[in-house]
Amino acid sequence: MKLNVVKIGGNIIDNSENLHRFLTDFAGLDGYKVLVHGGGKAATQLSATLSIEAQLVDGRRVTDIETLRVVTMVYAGLINKNIVAALQATSCNAIGLTGADGNFIRAKKRPVKTIDYGFVGDIDENSINPQNIAKLLDGGFVPVFSAITHDGTGQLLNTNADTIASALAVALAKLYDTTLIYCFEKKGVLKDINDEASLIADIDPITYEELKKQNIIAGGMLPKLDNAFSAIASGVTAVIIGHADELGHIKHNKTFGTRLSTGI
């Protein structure tokens, strides 16, 4: 059985027209599928209205108890349930989840070293039991995960949505022929970040090393791609990084975005 694990970024969620188009395309994908969504601006806006100051350390949000309340409300409530209702309107049998539900994703609160990130959960290959999620997929449901997990002792935790998507893909690759798809507002991995026509269509581990040597891929894209190749090394068939507007191409067997694979 083929499975697509699709991550949708916050910039798409913030635009209701883009989100609606994306969800229609997602609903149209054949086979098993899982959606993972990030947060968007709604959490930042609600925090501002409630006078909770957003704290960032090294570009990462520090999740104090008030911020955890806000992201639980916005990610697991407002955004997740509106996405589920929109998918249901297209006859996609979505079921909205956090990692606490069904104990699907058990995280560990990040240890305090130099920085206390607060209520942030880290996950690894042991955090997810694929048989547990397979019960939903085999039952005809389409799991929609928000970026909230738990620690198993009653504590909810804020967890990076990209990491959740890749951990789900790696865990489910034990059961299904799994493709991991990151949808965002760019065409994919670009040779020139300012030129959408400079898309790199395929990368395998050998070309990846060359692109890094030549400094064509650098900066913020490196951890994303390292993570993607690590998922492939752990059994995920391919990783696609592409524009949310082009997800529908998959249904018509057309390629889109940048496709990462073993190259074999």
Instruction: Say whether residue 234 binds a copy of itself (CB under 8 A).
Output: no
Interface segment toward a copy of itself; rule CB under 8 A; list 2-10, 145-153, 211-219, 225-233: 145-153
Instruction: Say whether residue 100 binds a copy of itself (CB under 8 A).
Output: yes
What number of chain residues touch a copy of itself (CB under 8 A)?
41
Instruction: Say whether residue 175 binds a copy of itself (CB under 8 A).
Output: no
At 118, the amino acid letter reads G
**What Rg, from alpha-carbon coordinates, does the chain have?**
18
Instruction: Say whether residue 141 binds a copy of itself (CB under 8 A).
Output: yes
Instruction: Say whether residue 21 binds a copy of itself (CB under 8 A).
Output: no
At 73, the amino acid letter reads M
Enter the tokens of residue 139: 């039952």
Instruction: Say whether residue 155 binds a copy of itself (CB under 8 A).
Output: yes
Provide the 10 A C-beta neighbour count for residue 48.
13
- d(C-alpha 133, C-alpha 110), whole Å: 24
Contact residues for 35 (Cβ-Cβ < 8 A; gap 6+): 6, 7, 8, 26, 83, 87, 94, 142, 143, 144, 145
Find the shortest distance in angstroms from Cβ 136 to a copy of itself.
Answer: 8
Find the shortest distance in angstroms from Cβ 90 to a copy of itself.
Answer: 9
Q: Which residues bind a copy of itself (CB under 8 A)?
A: 46, 49-50, 69, 72-78, 80-82, 84-86, 88-89, 93-98, 100-103, 135-136, 139-141, 148, 150, 152-156
